[in-house]
Structure 1
């Protein structure tokens, strides 16, 4: 497991937090104190369970950061539990980071479009300036221009740089050495947040391996994708303990519903993790099969290599492809409103049978034409 970062690194990181929040204690909930007892009368909870709650557990407020789940996530990501903040998917962590680090109208958020839209939404809600460094398309696909990112971040007073790796929707990864170099250059100026929502499907190791040397790196993870718990809304921010403590003070008092925590903990048991790993391997295999088959279709202009559980595909007629798939009962993501993707659809990797329906539908359309 990773060791805790050096004291000077944590001090430099704390300096990135809004000055008025550096000593903020947050709300002290009835479950924040470590108390023991048999009769709990400190949270104004109902003494009786709801008639629909057979086990009666939902009448009590949940643990704000369930210790067993926090430890399980720490083992999963190979870090110390003090580095883990559990939240409602990655979205909550993104919002917390922007609110805690960015002074409105002053501290900017940098993104690399086309990319996941929640970074820009959180910046807008905080009234933080948004800086954009578009991905560069070349023969290998899309890549992040890290030199441009660093320059724009420095000149534009970026407090947070979001790197999506694997990138949604393009599927590319940001090399670890590039992430480390960017963090080194922006130390004391900005937090580099690596969104690894699709990390389980990638070949590259996690950026958590860089955090000992670079405390201004934070990593977003989620159980929504590879672990198939999207409805449970369990995400994790992996960061320096100093930052975790600050964000916890800014977080809602009870962010992790007890039924969701129990489900997540069960999903992280050894047998469940083995089955998940097998399914991830199957998705990776289907991803390559689908990529090759789509690339061979006459109406497909380009299929981008992907390290996620999806493929970005350019079509000669994206509207027709979207409509034909929808008519066949297949819903894909229309990406045409994203910068530079006016002819593209994003197709998630499904079961072999689902993927085959995609291919059969598009092939039938080509024959009909």
Structure 2
């Protein structure tokens, strides 16, 4: 459908592909991305890889900028590095597109503290710390994927689960995804238990869904306990 839209509408100048996506956490097959890049589409293709560090290294298309001059791959230090506070992202692309981006961005838009923190994060020691953190989160993601279906009132776990969160259905009394119950669970967890998840029931294909960020072993234990008590009540 993407290729059909691109071929039928010449006004489309830029397309954005999220891989993995949010809130489903599903990685795009690199072969599908390549089909778009090898098509007749002459516009810019932006692949958002904010969560790519939670996937296999072969899932990234960042090196493809050497092959496709219309490709931009964006990444961030906000997720696997835990540096959301410095608001620093990365655009990997050709020198020509990079020059255009530099020409249009605000001057001095990266502060000295942000630059120093990013430099430390991308050092060999920083990369090692990031990978150790990712390994811990992947183990805890597997735990949530195994334990959440055991709770009463939990439906399907949706998406590809390639990011640092999981998307689950909250079922109503009829055994179907229930937006009202999911929202009540979201509100109760936040207001009564100090556990913050995300209500995603208003998004396409996500009826009755909560998105839960993978935390530490202790944090995930609290989530499972508090959510289980709410659903069993």
Question: Under a length normalisation based on structure 1, what TM-score does the superposition of the two structures give?
Answer: 0.58
Q: Which residue is equivalent to 1:330?
A: 195
Residue 276 (structure 1) aligned with residue 130 (structure 2): yes
Verify the 8 A CA contact 1:324 1:361 in the aligned structure 2: no
Closer/same/farther in 2, CA of residues 186 and 345 from structure 1, 3 Å limit:
farther
Secondary structure of 1:185's partner? coil
Matched, 1:343 2:208: yes
1: CA distance, partners of 2:52 / 2:227: 29
Would the aligned equivalents of 1:153 and 1:161 in 2 still touch at CA under 8 Å? no
Distance (whole Å) between structure 1 residues aligned to residue 41 and residue 68 of structure 2: 8
Q: Give yes or no for contact 2:77–2:89 (8 Å, CA) kept in 1.
A: yes
Is 1:238 paired with 2:102? no
User: 1:186/1:169 Cα in 2 relative to 1: closer, same or farther (>3 Å)?
Assistant: farther
How far residue 184 of structure 1 moved from its aligned partner, in angstroms, is 1.0
Distance change (3 Å), C-alpha of 1:183 and 1:214? same
- Is 1:310 matched with 2:165? yes
Of 206, 209, 227, the residue aligned with 2:81 is 227
RMSD of the TM alignment (CA)?
1.3
Q: Indicate whether 1:154 and 2:19 are aligned.
A: no
User: Which of 53, 57, 66 is residue 212 of structure 1 equivalent to?
Assistant: 66
Partner of residue 225, structure 2? 360
- Give unpaired runs (5+ residues) of structure 2: 172-180
Q: d(CA) in 1 for partners of 2:230 and 2:87?
A: 38
Q: CA deviation at 1:186?
A: 4.0
TM value normalised by structure 2: 0.90
Deviation at 1:187, TM superposition (A): 4.0
The total of aligned residue pairs comes to 220
Q: Contact 2:29 / 2:59 at 8 angstroms: preserved in 1?
A: no
Displacement of 1:225 after TM fit? 0.7
Distance in 1 (CA, whole Å) between partners of 2:222 and 2:35 is 44
